[in-house]
Amino acid sequence: MYLSIDVLSRFESKFEKCGDDECWEWLGSKNQRGYGFFNMRIGGVSTNTYSAHRLSWAIANNQDIPPKKMICHHCDNPSCVNPRHLYIGTGFDNNTDTVKRGRAKRKVGEDCSWAKLTKQDISTIRESTERQYVLAARYGVSQPHISRIKSMDRNMWTCVI
């Protein structure tokens, strides 16, 4: 990614470089979730807005971010633009990281707003000897879903023993 000296200087004026292992906090504009953003300007005219951490990674690695890739934080600090704290990954990588670090506010079981089954339904399904397609029709879910419940696949409904 090519940036003029003026644009690069303006970008670098928006954060303070601390130690190599410390977070470099973005001091410019941020969105509601704390991620910095930078307006690229050519001749004083705004051309594009970039996420500051993505731009920092691209500058440090001297390359564009490949399509369908994300720039993730090792430090869990959305306003950090230290390239040593950033890594390239997929949406799956980012979501897995979120869960591993305990930041996912994911509801499970009948606490999910879209859950069709209750804990009692799960217990009944697991104890039933009826054919899976019959249970699926009764509960309004797919037969593979019934199969996963019965086999505890993907730790599905593990809150129900």
Residue 113 has pLDDT above 90, yes or no: no
H-run or E-run covering 86: strand 86-89
pLDDT of residue 7: 85
pLDDT of residue 41: 72
Q: What is the mean pLDDT of residues 126-142?
A: 95
Residue 6 has pLDDT above 90, yes or no: no
H-run or E-run covering 42: strand 37-42
Residue 105 has pLDDT above 80, yes or no: no
The pLDDT tens digits of the residues spanning 18-70 come to 999 999 999 999 999 999 999 887 666 667 899 999 999 999 999 999 999 99
Half-sphere exposure in the Cβ direction for 141 (13 Å, CA): 18
Q: What is the mean pLDDT of residues 154-159?
A: 64
CA 142/CA 144 separation, integer angstroms: 5
pTM exceeds 0.95 for this model: no
pLDDT of residue 47: 75
Q: Between 13 and 97, where is the model more confident?
A: 13
pLDDT of residue 46: 64
Is residue 139 within 8 Å of 88, Cβ to Cβ? no
Q: Which long-range contacts (CB under 8 A, 24 or more apart) does 51-58 make?
A: 52/11, 52/14, 52/15, 52/26, 52/28, 52/79, 52/81, 53/26, 53/78, 53/80, 53/81, 53/86, 55/1, 55/11, 55/81, 56/24, 56/81, 56/82, 56/83, 56/86, 57/83, 57/86, 57/88, 58/1
Q: pLDDT class for 72, splitting at 50, 70, 90?
A: very high
